[in-house]
Amino acid sequence: MKRLAVAWCFAVSAAAQTPSLTHGPFRGHVDTSSLHVWARASEPGEFALEVVDVVGDGAQRAFATATAEHDNTLHFVVSGLRAATSFGLRIRSGDAVVYESAAGAWSAAIADDAAAATIAFGSCAEERRRPEQAIWSRILERRPDALVLLGDTPYIDDGTLAGRRRRYREFFAFEPVARTLAAIPTWSTWDDHDYATNDVFGKIRGGDVARGVFVDYHAHASYGDGTHGIHTSFRRGPIEVFLLDTRTFADTESSVLAPNERTLLGKAQTEWLRRGLAASTAPFKVLACGMVWNAAVRNGKADCWGNWIAERDALLRWIGANDVRGVVLVSGDVHRSRVILHPVAALAGYDVPEFVSSPLAQDVMESNRVDGPGLLFDAGEPESCLCLAVANGDLVATFVAGDGREFHRRTVEARELRRGDAADVYRRVETMLQDAFGADYARLPEQDYDVPAGVTAAGAVTAAWREAVVAATPALAEWAKASSFARCRFGVTGRTEGTTEFFDRVVGLGHLRRIALARGHQAIADRDAAALAVTTDGLLALARHLFGEPTVVAWMFAHGAEDCAAELADRASAEWPETAATVRAALRRHLAGRPVLGAIAFPAEQECLRLLGLVLRGFEGDPGPKGAMARRFGADARQRAVAGLVEHLAPLSRLGNAPDPAVRDELVRREAAFRERCRDVLARVKDRKAADGTRPTDAADLADLLLSLAMPSVVDFLDQHAASLRRLESAAADR
């Protein structure tokens, strides 16, 4: 009996000496190739983490040491993983296993090019005041790919080293929190109550202690610049999150974004953020922090971006200047759930949405129920979180209450988060017209090939055309949006080699122009001034947008749209004088910004360069003598051809917006001389081929051959541009 008692005491003593985990393991930063795991041990010691493959054919290891200096916290880092793979996890202390998961319970992040992802956000959770906190179960039910805690998690009322550690231990031991952090990769920043005290920011006494404890109790891949701050970032498929530190650097220096103004981010964090945004390929870029990005807060509240508005606006202006698309703002702190669409298109190029999610579990603050610019939604829920999900290319924001209710949902289309571009409108219009008239537009009335736009004033008011315009009404309403955009950028590559997206859209744009002209004639016949004005503006906007395309074909198409607008203006002047003045004013506004005559050099040059490339590639692909010649002299010939093109177009630089007969005559002479030279080259080629079967072996001859196949008739192009100008000027003149 005595021996049994001794053995039992020895076993108890040995068990007491074996370290265990008091907290965790929790999932920290996880990406497509690495895994960060946080835990806390019962006492100092060495620990090993094993990542065990699902099929059990191997393991990877990471090591961490629990020390009293870091409150026995552990931070394991495993690399060399494969995206979206699952595995088991085992943690050992010596030979003892202190944690083991089920096979496949852990995983690496989904691939960056994944089309869908969900990220949960929340802030402000006080487990001592609200011990139930069902919101954590709601988060788990959503199965997000990541969780972001925006601060006040936990509330810390003692800023000493011991006090901070105690509060993290208490919060991470709280069962709903522990269960969630064990299941979902989590990133955190701090807000006022876990940085210092209520509404405090900037330099504080004990700031190094605060940062040190934060680093000990989180498993991020990075913390600020490594010495200061705690900002970090991560990506989940189509969403990249930049998690900002809006406490540490506040008012510590002047802003690098807005010189001589206050800073909230500080220089180092600002430069880090700009580098990250510039490099990001994620469709959606979330800028998340504790502080709200607005000034709609209770009176006297100093910790909001509204008090650093110069830096915020400078950041948005930088986003616009660098064409950074997909920016979304997320914040917390104010104990409200809110949606704000910041009217900042003049800065960022588009209006930027902000989603405020607070509290996870705390009291609602009615004092922060403040109206402000762009406020779309506001609610007070004592337990709530935000889920941002990307599906089908768009962002869906869902606010979830502790009882499981979805109390607000809003979809943000990807196209809304980029600089306004009329090309998007034309794409949608083409789809809508094809839905109405068939993919080949077979259900449209037959085109009248005797008139440029394919429809006459008399034909436009027939029953067939009236039915067509009615069927096209939704598409025409969408098309009206294009007039508000100065920018139109079709894709630089089309479906056919060597073309741009514009060539893919030519047929649809042609039918749109024809339908628009028919509606304009109907508007005059029906005395519908609003429809006439919208149609004229749309035609002129179409011309303006296509003048931005680097191709002669697009400019010719623009001339056609101008001619349609001039035709409507002339008819209105003749039949409806009281409305014609409005139409003529639209033409005059268009003329003020229309490209001058000499501007045709740009599309002519670009068109020729495009065709030169196509012709030369065609020659180079020939298996016979032509290919050998092109491969031998192609580079030199292309350089000579480009020089010849520039010389040929040089007279256009002397043109303003008034036709100059001398310039035109010079172009005529140059084109005649060029054609004669090309005939000589072709004759020499023909003679040489008849004599010995060879092709030209001179780079100059090859350059002339290339230009003969690629050079547009500049004189004809100039005449068309001038004719459209004269017609517009005539139609715009007061009668």
User: Tens digits of per-residue pLDDT, 267-320?
Assistant: 999 999 999 999 999 999 999 999 999 999 999 999 999 999 999 999 999 999
Of the pLDDT bands very low, low, confident and very high (cuts 50, 70, 90), residue 13 is very low
Domain edges within the chain: 110-153+236-417, 422-594, 602-719
Under DSSP, is residue 399 helix (H, G, I), strand (E, B) or coil?
Answer: strand
pLDDT, tens digit, 9 for 90 and up, residues 434-489: 999 999 999 999 888 777 778 999 999 999 999 999 999 999 999 999 988 888 98
pLDDT, residue 575, reads: 95
Q: Which residue has the tokens 């990769």?
A: 185
Strand 384-391 relative to strand 394-401: parallel, antiparallel, unpaired? antiparallel
Distance between CA atoms of residues 91 and 51, nearest Å: 9
pTM: 0.69
pLDDT at residue 145, as a whole number:
98
On whether the CB atoms of residues 539 and 483 are closer than 8 A, the answer is no
Average of pLDDT values for 365-389? 97
Cβ atoms of 266 and 252 within 8 Å: the answer is yes
pLDDT over 80 (residue 57) = no
Distance CA 77, CA 315 (A): 34
CA atoms within 13 A on the CB side of 219: 27
Q: Give residue 628's pLDDT.
A: 77
pLDDT at residue 55, as a whole number: 46
What is the Cα–Cα distance from 273 to 276, expressed in whole angstroms? 5
Q: What is the mean pLDDT of residues 373-385?
A: 97
Contact between 140 and 175 under an 8 Å Cβ cutoff? The reply is no
Distance CA 332, CA 303 (A): 12
Q: Among candidates 362, 340, 285, 349, which has minimal Cα distance to 316?
A: 349
Rounded to an integer, what distance in angstroms lies between the CA atom of residue 105 and that of residue 119? 19
Instruction: Quote the CA–CA distance of 714 and 649 in Å, as a whole number.
Output: 8
Note if the bond before 25 is cis, omega within 30 degrees.
yes
Per-residue pLDDT tens digits for 545-568: 999 998 889 999 999 999 999 999
Please determine, for residue 12, whether its predicted confidence score (pLDDT) is greater than 60: no
Q: Note the pLDDT tens digit of each residue in 623-665.
A: 877 777 778 887 888 888 888 888 888 888 888 778 889 989 9
For the chain, the straight-line distance linking the first and the last C-alpha, in angstroms and rounded, comes to: 123
CATH number of 110-153+236-417: 3.60.21.70
* Structural element, H or E, at residue 149: strand 146-149
At residue 96, what are phi and psi to the nearest 5 degrees? -85, 135
Angstrom distance (rounded) from CA 660 to CA 725: 14
